[in-house]
Amino acid sequence: MSDSTPYPLLDSITAPQQIRHFSPGQLEQLAGEIRQFLIDSISETGGHFSSNLGTVELTVALMHRFDFLQDRIVWDVGHQAYPYKILTGRKNRFHTLRQHHGLSGFQKRDESVYDHFGAGHASTSISAALGMAMARDLQKQDFACIAVIGDGSMTAGMAFEGLNQAGYLEAKNFLVILNDNDMSINPNVGSLQGYLNQLISGQYYHRWRDRIEGAIKAIPLESVSKRLAKAAKWSEEAFKRIAIPGLLFEELGFRYLGPVKGHDLNALAKALVEAREKMAEGPVLLHVQTQKGFGYDPAVKDPLKWHGVTAFDAEAGVMKKAVADPSRPTPPSYTQVFGSTLAELARQDEKIVAVTAAMLDGTGLNLFQKAYPQRCFDVGIAEQHAVTFAAGLAVQGMRPVAAIYSTFLQRGFDQVLHDVCLQNLPITFALDRAGIVGADGPTHHGLYDLAYLRCMPNIVIMAPKDENELRRMLMTAIYCNRPAALRYPRGIALGVPLENPIVPLPIGKGELLREGEHTLLVALGTMVAPALRIAEKLAEEGISCAVINARFVKPLDEGLLGTWARRVQRIAVMEEGCAPGGFSSAITEFLADNGILKPVLRCAIADHLVQHGDQKLLLEEEGLGPEALFKRLSAFCRRA
C-alpha cells in the first residue's frame, strides 16, 4: 500500500456512529475508499473477495441509517461482511485477516461488540435475528433487528422457516435484506432464483401495474354501481396477484420493498427510510440487487474465480502462485482426483449420478457436469434436501454420489440417519475438506464427520492414505450396496501412481505397511504417511514400530488390529479428526471390548475449537504436525 493514505475519510472514522452524520457526497467517497481498501488489502492477504465488493454501498447505507451498538444485525454466511468489519473498528487489523491469531474471515461474537451473531454456514441469519427480536420484545427493549441474507442463502429451507415464523409472529422492527447478486459461490440454481430474476427484470409488469392501478383509482366509484366498484376492486387484487413483485414474501406476512439498485446510495437511502417506517407495522423484506465483484473488472467478469482468493496482483488482476519446481510435477489435488475418477466410473455405469449443494467446482463435480449434465444435480445451498433427494434417486435404482464438504454435511445429519442409513440405501457421501482446512477456521474445519457418522447403523466409513487409494475407495463405496462415506482432505495429493483398472477394496480390511515389535501405530487417512516416516526415524533410535493403514473406521479390521495389538507393548492411534467419538475412540472401544489392556496414545484433535490460520501451523499446534507427532510418539515409546 502507498505511504500516503488513499483513504482519508475512512482513516478519519474512529467510531461507526460518525457515518450517520455524513453527507451524500461523503457517503459516496467512503464507499469508494472502502472498495479500494478491500482491493489493496485482500490482494496481500487473500480472502473472500467478490462477495464483499458487492456489499460496500449496502454496508455504508446501513451504517448511515442504523446504530449497531444499539441495533442488531446478522450477516448471513459472513463472507459478505468485510466492509462491516472495516467500519466497526477493525480496519487497522485487517492485514491479519484469516491469519493465525488474526481477524476471522467471518463474524465472531468474541471478536467485536458489533458482531451480534457468529457466522460461517449459510441461511441462519433470519432465524437468529428473529430470535433476537423476540427476546427484545419480551424484555421490553427498543432496537431494530436486521438480517442480511443472500449470496445464495435464500435457496435453503431454513431461510423460509425463519420467514414463515416471522410473518406468523408479525414481528415488528424486524427487517430482512435480500442481497440478490444472482450467485452463491457457483451461479444460483432453482425456481426461486428464476422468481427473483423475474422481479428484477419484470419492468413490463411494473409499467402495466402502474397504468392499470392508476386507471382503477381514476374511476369515480361514488358515481357507479356497487357491482362495478366491486369488480374494479377485484380487478385490482387480481392484477396484484399476477404482477406485483414480492407476492411470495407478502403472502408470508412481509411488506415487500424493491428491488432496489444496491450500488446506488441514494436509492438505498430512500429504501431504508421507507423500510424503517414500515417496520413499525410488521416485518419488512427489502430486496437489493447487487453485483458480485462490483468495482473490480476481473471479479465482475469471473465472480466464481474471485470468490475466494489467494494473494494477487491488483493492477494486473492475476493471482500470485507459488513458483513450482519444473523438475517435480505438481500432483493433482484430492478434489481433482475424486472428480476425474467419478467421471471415469460414470462412463462405465449409467446409473451413477452426482449430487452437490452449490459446490460444483469446490467438490470437483464440474468435471462430471461437463461430461454428464443430465446426471449431475446441483440443489443449491440445501444439504438436507441434497441427502434425501439422493435417497429418492437410490430407491429407484440409481447409484448417487453426494459430494458435500465435511463441515456442510453436518447440516444433513438427520437426513443421513433417517432417510439413508435406517433404510440402508446405497448412497456414497464424498466428504471433501475433511480435517483442518486452515484460514476459514472453526466453522469450516472438517473435524467431526467421523464422530457424527460412526454412531449410525449400516454405514461404511473410509479414509484413503493417498490419491490412488481414494480411487479404489470411491469404487468400493459406490458398489458396496449400502451407505458409505469417503472422507479426504483439502489440498494437493501425494503424487503416487494411479493404477488402472481401479480395483475395489474388501470392506473392513486394513493394510499392514510395516512390522514391528515395540509400538503399533494405527493411522487413518492423512496420518498414514507421517506414521511411516516416524516409524523409520524411531527405528534409527532402536524403537521398532509396526504401522497399520486402517483404511476403514467402520467396520474396523478387528482381526488385523487384534493380532498386532497383542504383539506389541504400546499402541498409538493417529487421525485428523476430533478425539471425542472419532477414530481413536473406535480403536480404544475395540481394545477394551476385547480385553487388550495396553498403554494407548490418541493423536487426535482435543475437545476444543481449532481456530483459523495456516494449515501446517494449526496441525503442529494441535500435535499433529511432523515435529509435534515425532516428539509425542518418541516420548510415548520411551515411557516407563
Query: Around Cβ 353, how many Cβ atoms within 10 Å?
Result: 21
Predicted confidence at residue 105, as pLDDT, reads: 86
Predicted confidence at residue 407, as pLDDT, reads: 96
- Residue pair 188/380 in contact by the 8 Å Cβ criterion: yes
Q: How confident is the model at residue 195 (pLDDT cuts 50, 70, 90)?
A: low
Q: How confident is the model at residue 404 (pLDDT cuts 50, 70, 90)?
A: very high
Predicted confidence at residue 119, as pLDDT, reads: 84
CA angle 50, 54, 60 (to 5 degrees): 135
Residue 18 forms part of a structural domain:
yes
Cα distances from 313 to residues 160, 309, 629, in angstroms, run 40, 11, 37
Residues 519 and 414 in one domain: no
Measured distance CA(586)–CA(511) in Å, rounded: 17
Its sign, for the CA torsion 495, 496, 499, 502, is: negative
C-alpha cell at 574: 493417529
Residue among 65, 255, 292, 554 flagged as catalytic: 292
- Residue pair 437/394 in contact by the 8 Å Cβ criterion: no
Residue 69: φ, ψ to 5°? -80, -30
Predicted confidence at residue 220, as pLDDT, reads: 59
Residue 454 forms part of a structural domain:
yes
Q: What is the pLDDT of residues 517-532, one digit of tens each?
A: 999 999 999 999 999 9
Domain that includes residue 73, residue range: 8-188+248-308
Between β-strands 312-313 and 318-319, what pairing exists: parallel, antiparallel or unpaired? Answer: antiparallel
Is 383 annotated as catalytic?
yes
- Residue pair 583/615 in contact by the 8 Å Cβ criterion: no
Residues 172 and 284 in one domain: yes
Predicted confidence at residue 193, as pLDDT, reads: 58
Residue 315 forms part of a structural domain:
no
Predicted confidence at residue 241, as pLDDT, reads: 47
Predicted confidence at residue 123, as pLDDT, reads: 86
Residues 114 and 221 in one domain: no
Task: Indicate whether 183 pLDDT > 90.
Answer: no
Residue 494 forms part of a structural domain:
no
Task: Indicate whether 4 pLDDT > 70.
Answer: no
Predicted confidence at residue 192, as pLDDT, reads: 61
Predicted confidence at residue 200, as pLDDT, reads: 47
Q: How confident is the model at residue 77 (pLDDT cuts 50, 70, 90)?
A: confident
Residue among 90, 411, 454, 472 flagged as catalytic: 411
Residues 270 and 370 in one domain: no
Task: Indicate whether 610 pLDDT > 90.
Answer: yes
Predicted confidence at residue 204, as pLDDT, reads: 40
Residues 178 and 284 in one domain: yes
Is 411 annotated as catalytic?
yes
Residues 594 and 627 in one domain: yes
Predicted confidence at residue 464, as pLDDT, reads: 98
Q: What is the pLDDT of residues 432-459, one digit of tens each?
A: 999 999 999 999 999 999 999 999 999 9
Q: What distance lies between CA 359 and its chain's CA centroid? A: 9
Cα distances from 70 to residues 126, 143, 359, in angstroms, run 18, 6, 37
Q: What is the pLDDT of residues 9-36, one digit of tens each?
A: 999 999 999 999 999 999 999 999 999 9
Mean pLDDT, rounded, for 543-568: 98
Residues 534 and 449 in one domain: no
Q: What is the pLDDT of residues 99-149, one digit of tens each?
A: 999 999 888 899 999 999 998 888 899 999 999 999 999 999 999 999 999
Residues 113 and 237 in one domain: no
Angle of the 334-348 helix axis to the 467-478 helix axis, nearest 10 = 40
Mean pLDDT, rounded, for 598-616: 96
Is 35 annotated as catalytic?
no
Residue among 383, 469, 575, 576 flagged as catalytic: 383
Measured distance CA(290)–CA(50) in Å, rounded: 11
Task: Indicate whether 390 pLDDT > 60.
Answer: yes
> Which among 131, 37, 141, 125 has a CA at the least distance from the CA of 76?
125
CATH code of the domain in which 625 resides:
3.40.50.920
Residue 323 forms part of a structural domain:
no
Residues 297 and 434 in one domain: no
Mean pLDDT, rounded, for 545-550: 98
Residues 129 and 159 in one domain: yes
Residue 27 forms part of a structural domain:
yes
Mean pLDDT, rounded, for 206-218: 54
Predicted confidence at residue 152, as pLDDT, reads: 73
Q: How confident is the model at residue 191 (pLDDT cuts 50, 70, 90)?
A: low
Q: What is the pLDDT of residues 240-268, one digit of tens each?
A: 444 455 788 898 999 999 899 999 999 99
In terms of C-beta distances under 8 Å and separation of at least 24 residues, what long-range contacts does 195-202 make, across chains too?
Answer: 195/248, 196/154, 196/287, 199/245, 199/246, 199/258, 199/259, 199/287, 200/259, 200/289, 202/243, 202/245
Residues 230 and 286 in one domain: no
Count of structural domains, the chain: 4
Residue 504 forms part of a structural domain:
no
3-state secondary structure of 325: coil
- Residue pair 107/129 in contact by the 8 Å Cβ criterion: no
Three-state SS for 510-560 is: CEEEECCCCEEEEECHHHHHHHHHHHHHHHHCCCCEEEEECCEEECCCHHH
Residue 501 forms part of a structural domain:
no
Predicted confidence at residue 425, as pLDDT, reads: 98
CATH code of the domain in which 400 resides:
3.40.50.970
- HSE (side-chain half, CA atoms, 13 Å) at 53: 26
**Number of helices (H) and strands (E), helices first, in the chain?**
25, 21
Between β-strands 174-180 and 352-356, what pairing exists: parallel, antiparallel or unpaired? Answer: unpaired
Residues 209 and 254 in one domain: no
Predicted confidence at residue 196, as pLDDT, reads: 55
